[in-house]
Amino acid sequence: MFLRNPLVLAACLLTLSSPVWASPAQSYDFGQPAPAAKASRSVEVVMGDMSFDPKAIEIKAGETIRFVLVNKGQLLHEFNLGDAAMHAAHQQEMLNMQQNGMLTPTAMKEMDHGAMPGMKHEMKHDDPNSVLVPPGKTAELTWTFTKATSLEFACNIPGHYQAGMVGKLTVSQ
């Protein structure tokens, strides 16, 4: 049998034990999350109800930024890094969360989705390029930007992006 060959057996065992074959983590062509200790600088972003201040952020490729997110509004807000297409897709996910009662105007509820009819998988808000910030709270997101590109930072809670809660993020060489 072919498994008696030590090289074939070793290759099979390596393949089966390799974390590469586990459920793949979502990857982003513009960078990846990083520990706050690796940040080369901090950028404070103040969230109002339907606004970000500043509206534009300039970054250099290779830089690791610690975003300090201060929600001074009355509503739950999100800080999400991506391009317009990523935001459009995420807005649909957030709408689904809202329609299923998981997302309220001021909080994200923990829910048992196994008991919900029609739910094929658990809904979570755990993307590494995104953080939710409740009203009156502060949160952080640290990201290493790997290449020059044009991105947006946005709140994808239903209606917030459309109301103007989006900013430009330019990563230059």
Per DSSP, 103 falls in state B
> Which fold is adopted by the domain 30-172?
Immunoglobulin-like (2.60.40)
Domain ranges in the chain are 30-172
As given in the structure block, the two tokens for residue 110 are 């923990």
Spatial distance between the Cα atoms of 55 and 36, rounded to a whole number of angstroms: 23
Task: Name the pairing type of β-strands 64-71 and 51-53.
Answer: unpaired
The candidate with the shortest Cα–Cα distance to 46, out of 171, 165, 170, 158, is 165
Q: Please provide residue 164's backbone torsions phi and psi, each rounded to the nearest 5 degrees.
A: 110, 10
Question: Model's pTM, two decimal places?
Answer: 0.80
Which whole-number Å values give the CA distances from 51 to 55, 73, 112, 137, 152, in the listed order? 8, 9, 32, 16, 13
CA distances from 170 to 52, 68, 145, 173 (A): 15, 18, 10, 10
Each residue's pLDDT, cut to its tens digit, for the chain (173 residues) gives 444 555 444 444 333 333 333 334 568 999 999 999 999 999 999 999 999 999 999 999 999 999 999 999 999 999 999 999 999 999 999 999 999 999 999 999 875 545 444 444 455 788 999 999 999 999 999 999 999 999 999 999 999 999 999 999 999 99
